[in-house]
Structures are given as C-alpha cells and as structure tokens.
Amino acid sequence: RGALMPDAHLGYALPIGGVIATQDVIVPAWVGYDIGCGMCAVPTTFQVGDIITHARTIFDAIYHAVPVGFHHSTHETPWQHENYPRSPFLAKLFTVNGLLQLGSLGSGNHFIEIGCDEHDQVWIIVHSGSRNLGHSVASHYMKLASGGSKARQGHDGLAVDSALGRDYLMDLAFCLDFALESRHEIIRRVVEQIQRSCRGNAQWAQLINRNHNHAEEKEGLWIHRKGATHAETGMMGVIPGNMRDGSFIVEGKGNPLSLWSSSHGAGRVLSRKAAKDQLSMKAFSSSMEGIVARVTNRTLDESPDAYKDIFSVMQQQKDLVTVHCHVKPLINIKG
C-alpha cells in the first residue's frame, strides 16, 4: 500500500512525501538517510514585544550557542544513552563520533524559528535530524540490503525477522531517540539565550515532537514515511512552510487512505542548484522583510520561492489534519 503527500517531490529511491506499507519487510532507503529528521515545537511564556525588541541580540546569541552547518560541539553533550539497545556496528560508530553532534542543527532546510501565532503566543520550532549518525546507519544497512552492490542500493529490503532486519530496527530506534534528544537540547539552548534578554520560559509539558523519516509497525504492517508526518487521530504535529510563511501546528485526523500521514512541509519546486541559478537575491530580501534571518546568497536555495505554496498544500490536506494555529516567524536560524 502506498500514499503520496501534497508536498511530494523527487528524492532518492522513494519520493519525498512518500509513504509505503510493507509486510514482514523493512526497506532502509524508504526511511532515508536522515533517520529521525523531524520537528519539535513548544509554546512559551515569552512576550512578542520583548522578542521583537531584542530580536537581533537573540539571533546572534543562538548562532553562538547552537552549531550549524557542518560544525558540531567542541565537547560532548550529556545524554543517558547507555541503556538504549544498539547493534555492534552502531556501538562502534557511536564510540567514534561520541556526543559531539548532539544539539547541532545541520544544514539545508534544517532551522530554528522563533515566531508567534494568531493569539500572540510565542513558539520555538526546530527542524533537525540525526546528523552523521543517521546517515552512517542508513548507508550501512542500504549496502547490506543490496548484497553490497552500490549500483543496487535503493529498493532492497530486509526481512524484519532476520538478524540484519532486527539490527536495523534496533539502530533505527536509537537514531530516532538521538534526533529527539538533539532537538530537545537545541530548544534548551535557545531558551537559555532568549532568557538573557527576555523574561519567560518554554512550556515543556506542551512540547510537540513528530519526526518524518521513520518506519513503524501498525496493524501488522511496516509504515515507511520518508518526508511525511505521522498524523493519527488526535496526534499533534508541526508542518513547516518556508522562511517567510512559518509553520502550522496541526492535529491529525487518522485518515487510513494516507496511511495515517500528512505532509512534512511545503515541498520543493526548485532543486537547490536551480534555486541558486534562477532566483534573485532582491526578491528573496524583499520577501523576508521584518524577519531577522540570514538572507544571503548562501541561503538563497531556501528562499520561499524555492517551495510550493504552503497555504495550497494545507488546503489539499484538510482531510488529513486540522490546523490549530499558524506560527509566523520573527527570527529564523539556518545552517
């Protein structure tokens, strides 16, 4: 069984926005390289006026506190991971990489955003993944699933009751937990930096976490989501649009036709190279007026014009999610 979300676009093996259900088989390439990539959003008690007043200071402070791009921390971030099961491969890999990438943002479309909704509620929203850890795990099992052939790495699967299948599922779960812990750490650091200028805190009990690169078992099937958000009945989620139009806080409707899923964002209409070749800095700068962000040639591939119209995408999935609020950005941090 399969479904395609309204933000769908080309991706490796399975399209981004693709959801596929299998029986007794797990396909690493249908989860993708950035295992556990997803969204966290938390409402706060910060005041909109204070955020606007101190926006530039907060913006600079976050860039100092959270490594972005290919950078990582210079010291390990504490995480009680010792009791998490993992394969011998991942145990060795994690020893080599340690915890240096925990709490780092990455690059591309990963972001930290501070914005406000229609009721002047300030939100912190983070989009990030499992960094090199997830990429290494995905590459390892995709190669094993294909019998070691680089030419065939794509649609090869592993029996879930095989030794390799069990190892992959175990390491998949570890990467999901790592990515969530990393988003938590990023939010913690962001809150700390905002508090240097503003009174308030995160309302941690209301934090929403939804990853959009994973596989999970449901009703005897393995649901692979690659760039698609889990959207069971009553399940809260976050669907980002772009640097200008912000994100939507949503509640799932549990539609079985979409395999209990919704879009994970707006979806690209231009590749990164095409965006840099075709879009203008003038239009990009104009579209971002009033938002404190890196608006440079370096981030031109993340211009709003590189994406589908998020309002149209949300309209197309009214049978998948209910919108609770729309969070418009005040500060945007990109890798």
- Alpha carbons within 13 A on the beta-carbon side of 156: 19
- Residues contacting 9, CB < 8 A, separation 6+: 15, 16, 17, 267, 268, 269
Q: Which one from 127, 264, 324, 326 is the annotated catalytic residue?
A: 264
3-state secondary structure the chain: CEEEEEEEECCCCCCEEEEEEECCEECHHHCCCCCCCEEEEEEECCCHHHHHHCHHHHHHHHHHHCCCCCCCCCCCCCCCCCCCCCCHHHHHHHHHHCCCCCCCCCCCCCEEEEEECCCCCEEEEEEECCHHHHHHHHHHHHHHHCCCCHHHCCCCCEECCCHHHHHHHHHHHHHHHHHHHHHHHHHHHHHHHHCCCCCCCECHHHCEEEECEEEEEECCEEEEEECEEECCCCCEEEEEEECCCEEEEEEECCCHHHCCEEECCCCECCCHHHHHHHCCHHHHHHHCCCCECCCCHHHHHHCHHHECCHHHHHHHCCCCEEEEEEEEEEEEEEC
Residue 264 catalytic?
yes
- Residues contacting 70, CB < 8 A, separation 6+: 107
Q: Are 124 and 42 in contact (CB under 8 A)?
A: yes
The residue length of the chain stands at 335
Name the residues annotated as catalytic. Answer: 264
